[in-house]
Structure 1
Amino acid sequence: MATQTVAELTQKKCKPCEGGVEPYSREAAQEQLAKLPGWQMTHGGQRIRKDWTLKHFMAAIRFFQEVARVAEEDQHHPDLHLEGYRKVWIEIYTHAIGGLSENDFILAAKIDQLPIELKK
């Protein structure tokens, strides 16, 4: 699995995955994550996660609405977390294979392109 740039990832669309696809190796996932600032591996290399502190509660909700729109367009849905009214984090993995697929990196790259009101 060749490492892709953010531009390459954002031009792709997630492909339906019902299993039967080999998950990224830890090494391949680390190489791809190097192109996605702020994302890190969790759960023993089976998921990726990014954290943000937003300006306020409604900024967090607006951000999640945008994430939901993009996720629905690609039919690849992340786990969204909101804590303490403005701390948010997103975890992404391909449920059907219990690990990371190209879809996860595509969605992460697209999320990074969304407008976000960060705490200053």
Structure 2
Amino acid sequence: MATQTRDELVNKKCLPCEGGVEPCSLDEANGQLGQLDGWRLTHDGQRIRKDWRVKNFMAGIDFFNRCAEVAEADGHHPDLHIEGYRNVSVELWTHAIGGLSENDFIVAAKIDQLPIELKED
């Protein structure tokens, strides 16, 4: 997978993945993460994750609803986590291949464009 800009990713649509393809290598994943703010590798490089601290619980739920719309439109669904009522996280990986595919970076780039009410420190 060649590294793509955030705009290139946003303008793509996820392709169905039923397995049979190799996950991205660590080098490919790290290269692509250089184009996305705040995302990091987890689970030995098999997933990407981003964390936010939102204004309050409902701001987190509103954000997750927008994430769900993006995910459903692309047919690629993240894990959504909320802890301590305002710490939210999104985790992406391609379940069918047990690792990362281009789809994960496409959805991450689209999620980064969503409005979110962050906690003011």
**Alignment TM-score, normalising by the size of structure 2:** 0.98
Deviation at 1:92, TM superposition (A): 0.2
Distance apart, 1:21 and its partner CA: 1.2
Matches within 5 A, 1:91-110: 91-110=91-110
Deviation at 1:29, TM superposition (A): 0.2
Please state if 1:62 is matched with 2:62. yes
Superposition pairs for residues 16-95 of structure 1, below 5 Å? 16-95=16-95
Which residue matches 2:114? 114
Q: Tell me, what secondary structure is at the counterpart of 1:50?
A: strand
Q: Which stretches in structure 1 are left out of the alignment for 5+ residues?
A: none
SS of the aligned residue for 2:44 comes to helix
**One-letter amino acid matched to 1:2:** A
Tell me the alpha carbon deviations over residues 10-40 of structure 1, each in whole angstroms, 9 at most, x when there is no partner.
0000010000111100011000001001000
Shift of 1:104: 0.2
- Cα shift readout 1:58-111 (whole Å, capped 9, x = no counterpart): 100000000000000000000000001110001100000000000000000000
Give the root-mean-square deviation of aligned CA atoms: 0.4
- Partner SS for 1:100: coil
Provide the C-alpha distance between the structure 2 equivalents of 1:94 and 1:25, rounded to a whole number of angstroms.
13
Instruction: State the distance in 2 between where 1:53 and 1:21 align.
Output: 35
Give the AA of the match of 2:51. D
How many angstroms apart in 2 are the aligned matches of 1:2 and 1:18? 21
Length, aligned pairs only: 120
